[in-house]
């Protein structure tokens, strides 16, 4: 069986408020999890996404970064998915497609691969980078662009 490792690094325990203590003692939390059995099916058959009504706010200072203040993701995941759907597709407040609730997304149009720009919000996941590297090694054209939700119909596949 395959597993994944989750590593969380915090700035440690602080006092009251947002100002960090003068001396910081980082906390590291490591956990190991089995990869869900349905991932293999998803890799072969693909997944069905439902657009979430909850939108991501724009915050370029945190865009691309995975952090522990992803409250929008908590809200998104608190809503049950309708039957027949595997995950939520998440847009920003300007109706640009950003990601799914747990993964980055890629779209194919001819010989071009497009992944949404994460300049304003979203997480630049580790696997997103690996996919982009693999595509470049195959001499594929990959572009990071804003993808308006109305453009989804234009793509050959995702």
CA-to-CA distance for 18 and 20, rounded, in angstroms? 6
CATH code at 77? 3.20.10.10
pLDDT at 1: 65
| Nearest alpha carbon to residue 89 among 71, 107, 69 | 107
CA-to-CA distance for 29 and 39, rounded, in angstroms? 25
Range of the domain at 111: 45-154
Identify whether 57 is part of a domain: yes
Identify whether 84 is part of a domain: yes
Identify whether 86 is part of a domain: yes
pLDDT at 12 over 80: yes
pLDDT at 19 over 90: no
Span between the terminal Cα atoms of the chain, in Å: 27
Identify whether 123 is part of a domain: yes
Identify whether 146 is part of a domain: yes
Average pLDDT over residues 41-61: 95
Convert the pLDDT of each residue in 72-117 to its tens digit. 999 999 999 999 999 999 999 999 999 999 999 999 999 899 999 9
Please indicate, yes or no, whether the overall pTM of this predicted structure exceeds 0.75. Answer: yes
Domain count, the chain: 1
Identify whether 29 is part of a domain: no
């Amino acid at each position: 069986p395959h597993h994944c490792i989750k590593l969380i690094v915090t700035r440690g325990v602080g006092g009251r408020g947002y100002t960090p203590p003068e001396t910081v003692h980082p906390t590291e939390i490591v956990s190991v999890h089995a990869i869900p059995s349905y991932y293999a099916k998803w890799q072969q058959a693909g997944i069905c996404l439902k657009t979430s009504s909850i939108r991501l706010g724009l915050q370029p200072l945190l865009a691309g970064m995975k952090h522990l203040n992803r409250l929008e993701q908590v809200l998104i995941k608190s809503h049950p998915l309708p039957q027949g759907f595997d995950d939520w597709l998440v847009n920003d407040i300007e109706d640009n497609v950003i990601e799914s609730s747990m993964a980055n997304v890629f779209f194919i149009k001819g010989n071009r691969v497009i992944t949404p720009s994460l300049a304003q919000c979203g997480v630049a996941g580790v696997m997103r980078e690996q996919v982009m590297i693999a595509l470049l090694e195959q001499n594929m054209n990959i572009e990071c662009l804003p993808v308006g939700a109305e453009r989804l119909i234009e793509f050959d596949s995702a």
